Structure 1
Amino acid sequence: MSLPQPVPPSWKDLGKSSNDLLGKEYYINGASLEVKTQTPSNVAFKVQGTRDSKSDAIHGDIEGKWTDKVHGLTLTQTWTTSNVLRNQVELDNLMAKGLKLDLATSLTPDKGSKSAILNAAYKQSGLHTRAALDVFKGPTFTADTVLGRDGFLVGAEAAYNVTGGNITRYAAAVGYNAPEYAVTLHGLNNFKTFSASYYHRVSRDVEAGAKAIYDSKSTHGGVALEVGTKTYLDSSAFVKAKINNAGVVNLGYTQSLRPGVKASFGLAIDTQKLNETSPIGPAHKVGVHFVFDS
């Protein structure tokens, strides 16, 4: 008798280890601040703001999240400086074990634009499937499924326009997850874009990863390649570095100053323009990010 299989990652999380390594914690577009607080009544507040170094524009939002773990209910409300109101209601394991339902809505009062997306996710041993209905856009029905067994993963996604009666998007992926490494291959955008990602935990303190993307419709052609690494200096600090085939180097440093206080610094250097300035601004970018979590 085979052992029970673990729940595989969702479609959007296929290749997550590599994507996080190469995409997160590089703060290079200005200054940002994030403040998190928690009340005794299970209400979490989060305020975050960003000042873009290119446009000098300041964007921010305030979020309140109430959670009832006993009944699997979560309510999240967000108000942004762009005057966008977002609401999300989540029901987890309420109707059936492994089933999660959520309704996400947004409203922009001054523009009159609105959206509503109904999501459902079902997780069981060896299976992770999701479905989403965009009520106002199309309406469009999107579904994806990931099957996993002994580390091997197979997934597919498709979007269907209910009004037009046609499939508007489809994609597929295969991969393999092991405790120390992961490999994922994607065929996206109706198989017009292909990507391959690799992640390896070299040791307890060192991680490495790479990602290659080929877009058959790209006017430049060729393959976009990016490689990176993450090294833990100690229990409270780590550094990250990555470089792509365009010669852009990104560096990141994150330091936990004290419990609940974290600072991150980022730098991007275009090695082909070390003594130049691009037409739209500096060729090199810097940024800083602070987190206060009580």
Structure 2
Amino acid sequence: MTAMLWQAIAILAFILAFATTASADVAIPQLTGRVIDQTGTLSSSDIATLSQKLRDFETRKGSQIAVLIVPTTQPETIEQFSIRVADAWKIGRKKVDDGAILVVAKNDRHLRIEVGYGLEGALTDVTSRRIIDEIITPKFRTGEFSGGISDGVDRMIRVIDGEPLPVPSPTVNFGNLDDIAPLFIVTLFASIGVGGFFRAMLGRLVGSLATGGIIAVLSWLILGSAAIALALGALGFVIGFIADLFSAMAPSSGRSRGGSWSSGSSAGGWSSGSSSDSGSFSGGGGSFGGGGASGSW
């Protein structure tokens, strides 16, 4: 009898553990980009195009918009899940709270526009519901998920554009490490090699300044970041100046000053980088209070 009782307790414990696991909330995805699709609904080109659109909008307006597609939010409602996502991601600028998130639960056939405090006057509950009902869900019903999301985001952008928001503060764009690393290497070689030519013509100080200036301009054209351009330019000046100082102090090797230096690299191989958001996007600290609207198709 005792053995049967223990078996019954073990079976009951197993059932309870299974039920608890089955009812666990869906984990909030890590914020790795402006568009996160856990269902494979969007193609890589769709994601890249949409991400670029949202990136350009943030640069111009300051407001952040993110898109999340998940298979399901069960056992939570989409409203419960979306506010958890908003609290975790903190889309939008801190104290401006100008973020919005479009969440799609594909298998549940539910979607929601979650709106930050700072946008509730423009992207109202009524406006959000109209965007869902009139723009997004009609295309979802025909299987045009990419078109529905893209058109919905376009309308969200137009609505937010009409809201007077603080002008985006100048930010330091550190770019992608894949872009900066090659530029750092080129800076090193150009400071010593190409810089030797300018120092031979213009003198140590002026030649080093000219080398640093050229590196800074080219870096700015490639990365679009004044901060990084200035940093690389300054680095080029320092490396060139010190290298020339040491070469002047070193015993003569029989070569003419600057005559045997070579650049060791060419600017022709520089790349503007990938359009991917991977690793370079994060929320700005925005707050949400449950504003927005939900819908289904």
- Into which bin does the TM-score normalised by the smaller protein fall? under 0.3
**Greater fraction helix:** 2
Report 1 or 2 for greater relative contact order, CA contacts < 8 Å, sequence distance ≥ 6.
Answer: 2
**Greater fraction strand:** 1
TM-score scaled to structure 1, two decimals?
A: 0.24
Q: Rg bigger for which structure?
A: 2
